[in-house]
Amino acid sequence: FARNVAGVYRNTIDGRMLECNEAMARMLGYEKPADVLPLNAKDSYVDLREREEFIERVRRERSVNAVEVHLHRRDGGPLWLLESVHIVDGDPEILEGTALDITDRKLAETALHESESRYRAVIEQMREGLAQVDNDGVFQFVNDRFCDMLGYTREELIGRNTDELLDSPDDIALSHEKTAAHRRGSSDQYELRMRRKNGRVLWVEVGGAPLLDAGGRVVGSVRIHDDVTERRRTEEALRDSEMRYRLLADYSTDMISRVNVGGTILYTSPAVTSLLGFDVSDLAGRSIFDFMNPVDREVVRLATLTLARRGTLTFSFRVVRRDGTEAWFEATCRGIKSAVTGKLTEIVAVSRDISERKRFEENIEFQAYHDDLTGLPNRTLFRDRLTVALAYARRALRPLALLFIDLDNFKDVNDTLGHAVGDDLLKALALRLSSVIRAEDTIARVGGDEFTVLAANLSSSVDASLVAQKILDSVSQPVVVREHEISVTASIGVAIYPDDGELVETLLTSADDAMYQAKESGRNAYKLCTPAMNRRAAERLSLDIALRSAIEHQEFSLHFQPLFRLDTMATSGMEALLRWQSPDRGQLEPAQFLAVAEETRMIVPLAEWTLREACAKAALWQDTRPGVRLTVNVSPRQFQHNELRQMIIEALEESKLDPALLEIDITSGAAMLHNERTISVMRGLREIGIRLSVDDFGTGQSSLTSLRDFPIDGVKIDRAFVGGIEQSASDRAIICGVIVMARGLELRVTAEGVETQAQLDFLRSCGCDEAQGFLLGRPLAFDAIRSPES
Ligand code: C2E
Ligand code: CA
């Protein structure tokens, strides 16, 4: 209220307050006029010089109107007054004045001024030219940089219209359009040409935004100007040269393309349409690898790496045309490096279709490496492949077989039926042989009636004789050629890497030698090189035959070996171990025949017999040794077969043996295959109510942690560790470790092959549950374990 009323006062010219009204007193910060009287006006001035100038003026002019004076109030706060003062008539020493409080307005003005000067400082330091224009495009404000840019002084620019600086009617139109847009409140960025005072034309990038007043109305716009003349010039130069190159590219019959390092196509010339059938627009942004024969992708990737080091490179690769056919291309590439980082950024390639040339070359190559008649690889290519395969076999530690095949009576065919028939027979046999071998094997024709086969990746050298037998069988089938039914046979020599040689030459010679032995032995046969191998092959064959009749002739029997609890030393179980009493070989142990039985699938009936026999015997011993369980071994291959479960069920039913008394030993190798299947087979077996344990633990790929996932009851520590108890600290450590871990998994631990008291003592001290071994009892025939003295 006080501030809206004028203050009225009288004081002496040197400042002493004589009287004032209440409004005046309030302005100064006092309660009532009387409080103000001791005051001297000089005390209220912020700047005394201002007061002196003011009084000077009053003395001179006698009356002064509307002067702003800056005072401070009683409490020190700012006070701005708008004063009108005159000297009282008749007394030159007395002043009369009126005052209005304009503090609020003044404070607002100062704040504005401060922020404005801060804003100015920012604007003047800007790298860009800044201009403020009104709604018609007339400059209101420009910064120094803008002046420099255009070569005018600030005074020359303010008040001028933007249009006067523009160079072309197009730009004027553009500028108007943008000004109008700003009036509607939108902001944007554009480029136009501006003419400097000296006539030079600049390309300027303008960013404009509407300028609003306090009421939110658009009063003009603020524009930031960036001189982009230099950039524009290089762009244009680039475009010019690009134009020239593009012309070249457009008319070239070669395909010119640009790709980035990752293989994304940036540009291809129109030649791509005639060469590959694609439209230029099909390709941009796609990967070159999409259009490439997968085999050649690696070549191209390598080429990219090479380009990063070398400037240019020429190489060929296969491209897939739009219609799916393939074309050979030869590309000459140049790498383009970034000027800044020096890294390869782009590759420019000039490519041409060289399919015709390639076909020609390939044809020549094919002829050089293949046999004309049969189209099979020839001797040269075969040696080549053999060399490569040997290098691989060496690294993979895998056997490799070389078969040398010679037809037995081919000469007769030629002599009696003529060469044409002979040729056709060779062709027919070549086809047949090719179909017998695996795709990854190589068959070659190395002489008139000689072929060689390279069989790599064999799982065992025994496989080689299987391949040889297959070839013999297929060759001996009659062939119909030009209405003649012809029967031929072959003699085959087999050489195995590494047994019969480690080099191309030695293997070829060995196979050749073996082939002659086959001929001598009466033809239509295969021979291995080494006597040992021939013996092994022969043995295997006769074992196979003998095994087939062994079950019928009741040549198998079971021996039982006891298992003991280590705490009470009571017999806890009996393991059934298979024995074969062969009429011509004597007693055989499992190691001597199980592998062959597995290979020939004889293992299935054998396992069935074992289970029945063992369960029957275990049911019998329940009278005298109740609760003593039966352990039956199961081979890895059996374990993978579904019939196992059914076999066990039948054996249990037949014998009436309590399922809880049957335990199956699974070799750790089979168990550790550890796939879903293994676990589900195990679950299926456990459902019958029988027990499972993992045999030979510690050998092969045994892993204690994977035991956790198996539904099993126990583990058996392999004989090898038990045998090492006295000498090997690490064996002792392993045994203890297995026992501790198995305890945690609640698995029973059985030690196998205990032969000495010291081993037994150690196992007991470690807390092992159960043991088995020659010290405690050898495997014995059923009658022997039943007799009371055992
Ligand atoms: P395994 O399951 O580890 O069986 C224990 C083998 O260790 C038996 O040999 C046994 O005679 C032998 N042995 C036991 N205690 C000692 C000892 O203190 N010292 C020594 N040096 N050896 C001891 P066997 O009977 O020759 O059996 C060998 C393997 O043949 C068995 O190893 C088992 O994996 C397999 N096998 C035995 N019978 C069968 C069967 O009916 N079916 C299948 N699939 N495999 C069987
Ligand atoms: Ca066993």
Assign 3-class secondary structure to 17-37: EEEECHHHHHHHCCCCHHHHC
- pLDDT at position 532 is 63
Residue predicted with more confidence, 727 or 576: 576
Residue pair 99/44 in contact (Cβ under 8 Å)? The answer is no
Closest-CA residue, ligand 1 atom 7, reads 753
Ligand 2 centre from 575 Cα, in Å?
7
Residue predicted with more confidence, 171 or 111: 171
> Length of the chain, please?
790
Residue pair 555/583 in contact (Cβ under 8 Å)? The answer is yes
pLDDT beyond 80 at 175: yes
Q: Is the CB of 760 under 6 A from ligand 1?
A: no
Give the closest residue to 692 by CA, choosing from 675, 673, 677, 707: 707
Q: Is the CB of 755 under 6 A from ligand 1?
A: yes
Q: Is the CB of 774 under 6 A from ligand 1?
A: yes
Q: Which bound ligand lies closest to the C-alpha atom of 779?
A: 1
CA distance 739 to 686: 23
DSSP class per residue in 508-535: HHHHHHHHHHHHHTTSSEEEESSHHHHH
Q: Which residues have a beta carbon within 5 Å of ligand 2, which is an ion?
A: 633, 665, 695
Ligand 1 centre from 234 Cα, in Å?
87
Ligand 2 centre from 200 Cα, in Å?
101
- pLDDT at position 736 is 79
Q: Is the CB of 614 under 6 A from ligand 1?
A: no
722 CA: nearest ligand 1 atom: 18
CA distance 166 to 172: 6
718 CA: nearest ligand 1 atom: 3
Closest-CA residue, ligand 1 atom 15, reads 773
- pLDDT at position 790 is 45
Residue predicted with more confidence, 31 or 629: 629
Q: Is the CB of 562 under 6 A from ligand 1?
A: no
Q: Is the CB of 636 under 6 A from ligand 1?
A: no
Strand partners, 154: none
For range 565-570, the mean pLDDT: 94
Q: Is the CB of 663 under 6 A from ligand 1?
A: no
- pLDDT at position 536 is 64
Alpha helices in 255-293 (DSSP H): 271-276, 280-283
pLDDT band per the 50, 70, 90 thresholds, residue 637: confident
- pLDDT at position 789 is 46
Q: Is the CB of 254 under 6 A from ligand 1?
A: no
Each residue's pLDDT tens digit, 340-354:
777 888 888 888 888
- pLDDT at position 178 is 87
Q: Is the CB of 767 under 6 A from ligand 1?
A: no
pLDDT beyond 80 at 245: no
Each residue's pLDDT tens digit, 60-82:
988 888 888 989 888 888 898 98
- pLDDT at position 139 is 92
pLDDT beyond 80 at 216: no
DSSP SS3 for 703: coil
What are the backbone angles phi and psi of residue 62, rounded to the nearest 5°?
Answer: 65, -30
pLDDT beyond 90 at 42: no
Q: How far is CA 39 from CA 25, 75, 670, in A?
A: 11, 14, 112
For range 409-423, the mean pLDDT: 86
Each residue's pLDDT tens digit, 526-558:
988 876 666 666 777 778 888 888 988 999 999
Q: How far is CA 285 from CA 215, 281, 282, 333, 751, in A?
A: 50, 9, 9, 19, 67
- Bridge-based pairing of strands 139-142 and 629-634 is unpaired
Average predicted confidence (pLDDT) for the chain: 86
Ligand 2 centre from 637 Cα, in Å?
15
pLDDT band per the 50, 70, 90 thresholds, residue 2: very low
Task: Write the Ramachandran bin of 343: left for phi over 0, alpha for psi from -120 to 50, otherwise beta.
Answer: beta
Q: Is the CB of 578 under 6 A from ligand 1?
A: yes
Q: Is the CB of 778 under 6 A from ligand 1?
A: no
Residue predicted with more confidence, 89 or 148: 148
Dihedral in degrees, nearest 10, Cα atoms 630, 636, 641, 645:
10
Ligand 2 centre from 627 Cα, in Å?
19
For range 742-747, the mean pLDDT: 82
pLDDT beyond 70 at 326: yes
Q: Is the CB of 577 under 6 A from ligand 1?
A: yes
Each residue's pLDDT tens digit, 264-320:
998 888 888 888 898 888 888 899 888 888 888 887 887 777 787 777 888 888 999
- pLDDT at position 202 is 92
Give the closest residue to 461 by CA, choosing from 398, 393, 407: 398
The structure's pTM equals: 0.45
For range 371-389, the mean pLDDT: 90
- pLDDT at position 3 is 46
- pLDDT at position 636 is 76
Q: Is the CB of 608 under 6 A from ligand 1?
A: no
For range 154-175, the mean pLDDT: 92
- pLDDT at position 114 is 67
Percentage, residues of the chain above pLDDT 70? 93
Residue predicted with more confidence, 14 or 241: 14
Q: Which bound ligand lies closest to the C-alpha atom of 614?
A: 1
pLDDT beyond 70 at 703: no
pLDDT beyond 80 at 737: no
Ligand 1 centre from 633 Cα, in Å?
9
- pLDDT at position 765 is 87
Mutate which of 577, 664, 667 for ligand 1 pocket (most atoms within 8 A of beta carbon): 577
Each residue's pLDDT tens digit, 423-467:
999 999 999 999 888 888 999 999 889 999 999 878 777 788 889
Q: Is the CB of 589 under 6 A from ligand 1?
A: yes
Ligand 2 centre from 694 Cα, in Å?
8
CA distance 212 to 230: 34
